Structure 1
Amino acid sequence: MDSGNLAWYVTATALVLVMTPGVAFFYGGLVRATSVVSMMMLSFGAMGLVGVLWICYGFNLQDVSTGWIGVAGDPFGNLALADTIAAGDANDRLAGVAYGATFAIITVALISGAIADRAKFGAWMLFAALFATVDYFVVAGWVWNPAGWIFRLGESLGLNAGVIDYAGGTAVHINAGAAALALSLVLGKRVGFGRDIHRPHNVPLVLIGAALLWFGWFGFNGGAAAAGAGIAGEDSPLGLIVVNTLGATAAGILGWMAAEKLRSGKATSVGAASGAVAGLVAITPGCANLAPGWAILLGLLAGVVCAAAVELKWRLGFDDSLDVVGVHLVGGLIGTLYLGLFATGTGLVVGGGIDQLIVQTVAAGAVLVYSFAVAGAIGWGIQKTMGFRIRSEDELAGVDTAVHGESGYEFPDESPITGEVVVPGGEH
């Protein structure tokens, strides 16, 4: 890898890493003031734990060519990257390891939004370790490793199209969204669950988080170009990726705000931020395989549909606190299946056959079912043993002080002032 590509690879890694603090800000602003520390710690806990596990054995698990072909790699064959650092191209390989770690981290962190205000930190950390090991590390290999069964799905079925998931519609967003749905069912509803249960305590924090996510997403979608066709050659997809990441996200904002305006008469800032995330989620799998016009249409569609989807929790009665299901699961499904219709050269509507839609549907469904089952089983096991949910009285009082002994906001003592007060330029 030449110096330009390597520099972009490292830069993209940093961009994706900052997305997890972006998630922490986004989620932190949406919860109560007495839960903001707890909410942000779920993301930062994932950063520490999943980052270590990926280096120790997660990278090996996703390399399915070294273990059970198409299913899982050998976690101990390259323990803590002992073989990688001795390879002749170690520099390039290690950059790839770091880039992959950031995807593992944010996938787990995204799930935490579904259990806001009611989860024990220790139980979450155990869940994060088990889910990353049994689910994400394995699913990433299915989708992106050339030996992975999803990567080879079209060939295995004798079809003329392979699964398209450039940056994580299945492995990240459907995966996290399905896990979030399972975990919200395991933990149950918050005390007083209803439409007016909590309003976002800090809207500017939500907007800062959304801005960091959009900023980092250029690396999330575009980083892999450095390891593929390169970033400057004629065949590089980077320019298209950048334009689509911009256009679909902007359209997602417009779609969500329009849906809000029609439903309630007001377009909100939280809605605009959520629309941006919905557009980002939807464009992720097809950022390199859609013409810009189709990307804009996808963003609009994602904004409108996801805005409607977040209302389902009230009708169906599951407490997905911060709408991970409505944005990431639904947005990931839209973006993944949309490619079956509009992917350049292979989509059904743009000159291809039905093969692309078939493989996209099978891949999306398989990851959804697997993730839901794994997350549900892990969450249920933790709840039945050490307990996953905090006590109701701690939930009502606020998670921050009960779980972390901290508060997000410290206000000055408002007790009466004693002693003499001096007014500048005036009398005592």
Structure 2
Amino acid sequence: MSLRLRAPIVLPCDAACSVLRDAVVDIGADGRILHCGPTATAPASDAPVRLLTGILMPGLVNTHAHSPMTVLRGMGDNLPLIRWLTEVIWPAEGKLTGQDVYAGMVLGSVEMLRAGVTTSAEMYFHGEDVARAIIDTGARGVIAPAVLDGLGMDWRKMLADISTWIDADGLRFGPGERVELGYGPHSAYTLPPAALTEVAEAARQRDALVQIHVAESLPEDQTQRAEHGSVPALLAKVGFFGGRVLAAHSVHLSDTDIALYADNGVGVAHCPGSNTKLASGIARLTDLRAAGVAIGLGTDGPASNDDLDLWEDMRLAAQLARVSTMDPTALGAADTLLLATRGGAQALHRNDIGALEAGRWADLVHVGIDDPAFAAGLDVPDTHLIANLVWAAGSRTVCDVWVAGEQVVADREPTRIDRTEAQAMAGKVTTRLLA
């Protein structure tokens, strides 16, 4: 049904990061936004009105996650990336069934929704089970089933399976187009150059997003760097660019690499929490932004972060940008908020999420203000308000969440899934893996 949400503060997350006071968001019966603006100038509407206290804003966009790894959380702690993958994670993942992945994704989806994350870009195995979990929880997902070579995996079959799935079900499907399909070539160090070329060609034919790990840590791609100079140079050489490409991490980039990204419209998923926990390095966020590269924030997997709370990555991204440049103005609160919303949509090459604008999906978050972060209330200058939201509030202040106009979190609890049952289902998987 149509609905009008009215709040004392609405943050549309437009390019200027405007603050609207006493404003409304009108939601159509199709789950898309009809109007966002001040109450005084809102169009006439006979839709029911829900009055909210606090702040209404777009759902956060997690541009890089492996959320089913909630069942692997805590495993391999204190190991660097490559040892963490080869000694702990990949062997454990080899034991996961489709139902295990479903359980992990349900829990991950619930965790993100309660934190106000409405969209996540997922790279994982058993893609159909990931999609089933996203639809069941009511979230939104951009799913890139993984493509790897070795470890008993056939990259050609994995690639063909994804193409067949997209050709059968379409690029987007589900209520409110909750699921988008794409391709997930893991990295240049787990796939031969020919595979990278073929994946990119298949994706361009279907206008599908390609998600790939790039230059996450120094030890991972020594062979590729020695032969081609850098992973972005290799990707350019094999014809990987030219379509919708999302490069996750992208920590160790040269000026030339950044220029390649900018020239080819590559989006970046910046994952500061995972990068620091695994000691992978600090991405050149300010340089990427200065070059005009579309950047969003990602949590990475809940076994390497170890949570799916994008609010934490917001703060960490800004703090690392400041300390790495020794510039306290390197990334302000408003720009940080946009990275987690509008910027995330741009990095995913999407213009239908990430902001409260007519025509976009009504993916919204209601932030409550009964919290120490808002001790002075809402009657403070706009810049002060956004600073409190970004630096002090956090996921604990998220009260209600809508995806495609449907309320999927009410008073901090999911409406479609029993959280206790979700935790128990995932916990059984972890217990079995640890036995």
Same fold, judged at TM 0.5 (above): no
Q: Which one has the largest radius of gyration?
A: 1
Greater strand share, 1 or 2? 2
Q: TM-score, normalised by structure 2?
A: 0.28
Greater helix share, 1 or 2? 1
